[in-house]
Every structure is written in structure tokens, then in C-alpha cells.
Structure 1
Amino acid sequence: MTTKIYKINGMQCTGCADSIVENIKKIENVADANVDFDSKSMSITGSPDEEVIQKVVEGLGYSLQN
């Protein structure tokens, strides 16, 4: 399994990070997801569709950079 790191813009608190993780873990083929609020980064392990990840993050009101 691969792990990929993304930068997330717009997080204001750890609650934001928790919400992102909760929603990303629902995506098909995501084995694990973690958000580091301090570095504004997210790691995803698995093989999910990148477009789905982007849509979920943007749907929550944040922007994603990989």
C-alpha cells in the first residue's frame, strides 16, 4: 500500500482536521488517513481516487495541494 501526503489550506482548528479525517476515511480504498493540523498536511494510505479526495476536501470548504 502506498501513502501519499497532501497539503490542506483553510484549516482553522483541530476540529477541522478531525472532520477531514472522518470524511476521508469513508472513501473507497482508503486504508488510513491522518491530518497534522500544525503542518497543515494529510497523509492517506491506500489507493483511493484522487479526484474523490479533492472533491471531499473541497466540499468541506478547504483546498488541497499534492
Structure 2
Amino acid sequence: MTTQTYRVEGMTCDGCAKAVRRALGTRLPEAEIEIDRPAGLVTIAGAHDEAVVREAIDDAGYDFGGKAA
């Protein structure tokens, strides 16, 4: 199983985190999604395409910050 963590800029409240989770869950229904709102991170476990992650985050109204170190 592939696991990757990405930065999400502008995710400042629980409502923001829910919006990001909803957007990702719609596009990646088989993946496990963990959100660390205070750190601005999303970890996705399962097969996924980074372009789909970027699109979901952008469509939810937040900025995709790329892979976290």
C-alpha cells in the first residue's frame, strides 16, 4: 500500500478539514485519508495519483503545497 503525505495551505479550521476530506474521499473512495489540520497535512494510504489529490484540494478551495518531507 502506498502512503504519502501532502501539504494543504489554508486549511485552518475543522470545517476546512472536512471539506478537504470530502473532496478527497469522493475522488479516492478506496484510500484511507488522515488529516492533521494544525500541521496542514493530509496523509493518503492506498493507490492514488498526485494529480487527482492536487485537483481535489484545489477544487475544495485550498492550495496544494506538494509532498511533505
> Mapping of 1:51-62 within 5 angstroms?
51-62=51-62
- TM (norm. structure 1) is 0.86
SS class of match (1:51): helix
> After TM superposition, which residue ranges in structure 1, 4 or more long, deviate above 2 angstroms?
none
Write the letter of the residue equivalent to 1:47: A
C-alpha root-mean-square deviation of aligned residues, in Å?
A: 1.4
2:38 maps to 38
Q: Structure 2-normalised TM-score?
A: 0.83
**Separation of aligned partners in 1, 2:15 and 2:37:** 9
* Rounded Cα–Cα distance in structure 1 between residues aligned with 2:19 and 2:36: 12
Unaligned runs of 5+ in 1: none
Gap change, CA 1:28 and 1:21, over 3 Å in 2: closer
